[in-house]
A and B are shown apart, each in its own frame.
Chain A
Amino acid sequence: GEDVEQSLFLSVREGDSSVINCTYTDSSSTYLYWYKQEPGAGLQLLTYIFSNMDMKQDQRLTVLLNKKDKHLSLRIADTQTGDSAIYFCAGQTGANNLFFGTGTRLTVIP
């Protein structure tokens, strides 16, 4: 079955870069996603990468995909206090539903 693993917590200082890591088991995922969840809110789609890509950059966000190691990472440059949230990595199955990691709680220290 599909499984996604993420570390639970990450703390960074404001202005530094944050790197959130994710490993997954289902190599058939066509797309891999990063979502952000702020307290009391739903999930905000941040970015996604097609499985035949190695890297995608979108403003302060950089996604790296290592298909061989089934490893996905999200780098946030110049991290701000507004980036404090829970970040979820997700893959998409052949049946179209998403399977999520446990989420990484990012805390940005002023």
Chain B
Amino acid sequence: EAGVTQSPTHLIKTRGQQVTLRCSPISGHTSVYWYQQALGLGLQFLLWYDEGEERNRGNFPPRFSGRQFPNYSSELNVNALELEDSALYLCASSLAQGGRQPQHFGDGTRLSIL
């Protein structure tokens, strides 16, 4: 069974640019979560999508947004990139949220802002 896949694996951008990160969940999983792992800040929850709807959002500015497609894959968009957005962005998926199912993570996209 394929795990959570994320693309691209690495990305280099400059301040002010925009970026789109992609995530494909494990087959059968309907919930997708995004987390940011920045140096010195640890792992922080960004967004949760389930059945195409945004269900919860972490303490991040509106320039962080995303969506979930009918096939349950997801995109994370970050506008007006800032230096502090440099981080590993991790996507996780789980079965339907009703049962508090464990989240399984991909290998992440490493975003570097110059």
Q: Which residues of A contact B (CB under 8 A)?
A: 30-31, 33, 35, 41-45, 48, 88, 92, 95-103
> In the complex, what residue of chain B is closest to A48 when comparing beta carbons?
B102
Partner of A44, one of B6, B58, B97, B105: B105
The reply to whether B45 and A99 contact each other, CB–CB distance below 8 Å, is: yes
Partner of B43, one of A31, A41, A96, A100: A100
The reply to whether A42 and B105 contact each other, CB–CB distance below 8 Å, is: yes
| Interface Cβ pair total, 8 Å cutoff | 52
Question: In the complex, A42→B36 CA distance in Å?
Answer: 11
**Shortest distance from the beta carbon of B95 to any chain A beta carbon, whole Å:** 12
The reply to whether B90 and A42 contact each other, CB–CB distance below 8 Å, is: yes
* Contact status of A45 and B105, CB under 8 A, knowing A88-B43, A98-B45, A99-B45: yes
The reply to whether A96 and B55 contact each other, CB–CB distance below 8 Å, is: yes
**Shortest distance from the beta carbon of A59 to any chain B beta carbon, whole Å:** 17
- Assess whether B108 is interfacial by the CB under 8 Å rule: yes
Q: List 12 A-B contacts (CB under 8 A).
A: A33-B102, A42-B6, A42-B105, A43-B90, A43-B105, A95-B55, A96-B48, A96-B97, A98-B35, A98-B43, A99-B45, A103-B42
**Using Cβ atoms and an 8 Å threshold, which residues of chain B touch A33?**
102-103
**Shortest distance from the beta carbon of B25 to any chain A beta carbon, whole Å:** 13
> In the complex, what residue of chain B is closest to A43 when comparing beta carbons?
B105
Partner of B42, one of A31, A45, A96, A102: A102
Question: In the complex, A103→B103 CA distance in Å?
Answer: 17
The reply to whether A92 and B100 contact each other, CB–CB distance below 8 Å, is: yes
- Assess whether B67 is interfacial by the CB under 8 Å rule: no
- Assess whether B72 is interfacial by the CB under 8 Å rule: no
The reply to whether B90 and A98 contact each other, CB–CB distance below 8 Å, is: no
**Shortest distance from the beta carbon of B93 to any chain A beta carbon, whole Å:** 11
Q: Name 16 extra pairs, CB < 8 A, besides A45-B102, A95-B48.
A: A41-B107, A42-B4, A42-B107, A43-B90, A44-B105, A48-B102, A88-B43, A92-B100, A96-B97, A96-B100, A97-B56, A98-B43, A98-B45, A100-B42, A102-B42, A103-B42
